[in-house]
Amino acid sequence: MKRKIVPVVMVLVALLLVPCGAFAAEKKGLLVYDSIYGSTVEVAYWIKAIIGIEHQLDVKTIPQVITLEPYDYIILGSATRNEGPLKRMHEFIEANRSVLATKELCFFLVCGDSDETQVLKVPGKEAHLIAGRNYMQPIYQRYPELKYTCIAGFGGRQVMASLGLTDRLQIKLLEKLAKEGAIWIGFDIWESLVVERVEAFANEVRVKVLGLQPRENVEQFRGYWQSLQPANLKDPSMGKFKRKPWTERVDTKKLFYTRSRIKGDLDPTIAMLETWARKNGYDLRVQVKTFFNVYYHAAKTYGGKERIIHIVPSTMPEDPGTVHISFRSYDKPEERAEVQKDIEAAEALLWANGRKLP
Ligand SMILES: Cc1cc2nc3c(=O)[nH]c(=O)nc-3n(C[C@H](O)[C@H](O)[C@H](O)COP(=O)(O)O)c2cc1C
């Protein structure tokens, strides 16, 4: 008799504990955003929809937040200015950094440039890595104690007619100075946002922060972003979003630039670049290294001068199982023949064995 009672009691205790455990596990979240022209707001509510309105996630603009205490996790989201989050987002982090350090954090940026293999050179500034998640660098440097479970840089939207005077002047100046030109010229509305990145980020929060399954059929939520607003009032055929080409070769007076993508992972790509550098006499100097990309200066002296090739292999959230690689030389055309030949040799190695993708 006693033998039968013990297992029955154990089953009853287990049945009572299971639902308590399930309820206790639910984490409470806060998404704090900062936006100037509104696109980051749309993205914030889109992320909430994919995470699921059945889960507690308050969405608030900075002045609406009086405390972070009730939350287990916090998603910070900001528009991008001058290659980093907005000033007010920095102030918010600074004011709350000791509390933020105790919370689980995620960070997303809404930005114009989304190609994470991109290097920018403008007069008066060293060439440097820009775009998407690369804009997290100032955040890492200023608040090294903060760690992030998920980060993303989605791209964004620029509504040209709405830009304030100083913003318009700054954008015009960039159009003139950027050696690679400006992709938004000719648009009334220009969008660079990669929708799959928003979906991947929200699902990463579901999986890594909330311990849920990724949501399927996420395309149903794209209405939070897409609209009937045209790209150009005079040209109805024009699309607002045109993906930056995955394969490109630009040869101008100011720049030699190639970009391609291959099947594979970051580590084997790095190994191939190291082999190429050794064989061709380049000193491969790491400028920035993250979990998703590396920015190298490949240096070699010839013609009495040190030549630098800027190389960035990067994985992309929207293109899994591939690595995108850019090469840039800012030497003058008459001085860069050897550099171009060496870049072609690097590409031949990377593209071999059917790895090259269109
Ligand atoms: C003056 C100005 C500076 C900008 N600087 C950058 C920048 O450095 N990098 C970038 O990728 N995007 C930059 N952008 C693009 C914005 O981050 C992008 O349009 C974003 O979607 C705006 O978000 P919001 O609508 O929430 O304000 C800039 C836009 C303006 C108007």
Three-state DSSP string of the chain: CHHHHHHHHHHHHHHHHHHHHHHHCCCCEEEEEECCCCHHHHHHHHHHHHHCCCCCEEEEEHHHCCCCCCCCEEEEEEEEECCEECHHHHHHHHHHHHHHCCCEEEEEEECCCCCCCCEECCCCCCCEECCHHHHHHHHHHHCCCCCEEEEEECCCEEEHHHCCHHHHHHHHHHHHHCCCCCCCCCCCEEECCCHHHHHHHHHHHHHHHCCCCCCCCHHHHHHHCCCCCCCCCCCCCCCCECCCCCCEEEECCCCEEEEEEEECCHHHHHHHHHHHHHHHCCEEEEEEECCCEEEEEEEEEECCEEEEEEEEEECCCCCCCEEEEEEEECCCHHHCHHHHHHHHHHHHHHHCCCCEEC
Out of 33, 37, 81, give the residue to mutate to test ligand 1, the one with the largest number of ligand atoms within 8 Å of its CB. Answer: 81
> Residue 260: inside a domain, yes or no?
yes
Count of the separate structural domains present in the chain: 2
pLDDT (tens digit per residue) in 188-226: 999 999 999 999 999 999 999 999 999 999 999 999 999
Mark whether 200 and 254 lie in a shared domain: no
| Domain interval for residue 201 | 24-224
Nearest CA to ligand 1 atom 28: 81
Q: How far is the CA of 125 from the centre of ligand 1 (A)?
A: 19
What CATH number did the domain enclosing 319 receive? 3.30.310.80
Task: Using the atom order of ligand 1, give the atom closest to the CA of residue 153.
Answer: 11
> Residue 11: inside a domain, yes or no?
no
pLDDT for res 180: 76
Residues with Cβ within 6 A of ligand 1? 35-40, 79-83, 110-113, 131, 156-158, 163, 167, 170-171
Domain end marker among 209, 224, 239: 224
Summary mean pLDDT of the chain: 92
Task: Using the atom order of ligand 1, give the atom closest to the CA of residue 39.
Answer: 25
Nearest CA to ligand 1 atom 29: 81
Mark whether 81 and 116 lie in a shared domain: yes
Mark whether 220 and 253 lie in a shared domain: no
> Residue 150: inside a domain, yes or no?
yes
> Residue 2: inside a domain, yes or no?
no
Mark whether 162 and 68 lie in a shared domain: yes
Mark whether 220 and 255 lie in a shared domain: no
Mark whether 195 and 280 lie in a shared domain: no
Nearest CA to ligand 1 atom 15: 112
Out of 36, 78, 90, 111, give the residue to mutate to test ligand 1, the one with the largest number of ligand atoms within 8 Å of its CB. Answer: 111
Mark whether 81 and 160 lie in a shared domain: yes
Q: Higher model confidence: residue 181 or residue 241? A: 241
Task: Using the atom order of ligand 1, give the atom closest to the CA of residue 132.
Answer: 11
Mark whether 213 and 335 lie in a shared domain: no
Mark whether 298 and 211 lie in a shared domain: no
Mark whether 161 and 288 lie in a shared domain: no
- Using pLDDT thresholds of 50, 70 and 90, give the confidence band for residue 327: very high
What CATH number did the domain enclosing 194 receive? 3.40.50.360
> Residue 316: inside a domain, yes or no?
yes
- Using pLDDT thresholds of 50, 70 and 90, give the confidence band for residue 25: low
Q: How far is the CA of 238 from the centre of ligand 1 (A)?
A: 21
Mark whether 286 and 184 lie in a shared domain: no
Q: How far is the CA of 187 from the centre of ligand 1 (A)?
A: 15
pLDDT (tens digit per residue) in 103-152: 999 999 999 999 999 999 988 889 999 999 999 999 999 999 999 999 99
What pTM does this model have? 0.91
- Using pLDDT thresholds of 50, 70 and 90, give the confidence band for residue 7: low
> Residue 43: inside a domain, yes or no?
yes
Q: How far is the CA of 198 from the centre of ligand 1 (A)?
A: 17
Q: How far is the CA of 14 from the centre of ligand 1 (A)?
A: 54
> Residue 77: inside a domain, yes or no?
yes
Out of 158, 168, 169, give the residue to mutate to test ligand 1, the one with the largest number of ligand atoms within 8 Å of its CB. Answer: 158
Task: Using the atom order of ligand 1, give the atom closest to the CA of residue 156.
Answer: 21
> Residue 1: inside a domain, yes or no?
no
Mean pLDDT to the nearest integer, 247-272: 97
Q: How far is the CA of 84 from the centre of ligand 1 (A)?
A: 9
pLDDT for res 48: 98
Mark whether 206 and 260 lie in a shared domain: no
Nearest CA to ligand 1 atom 9: 83
Nearest CA to ligand 1 atom 12: 112
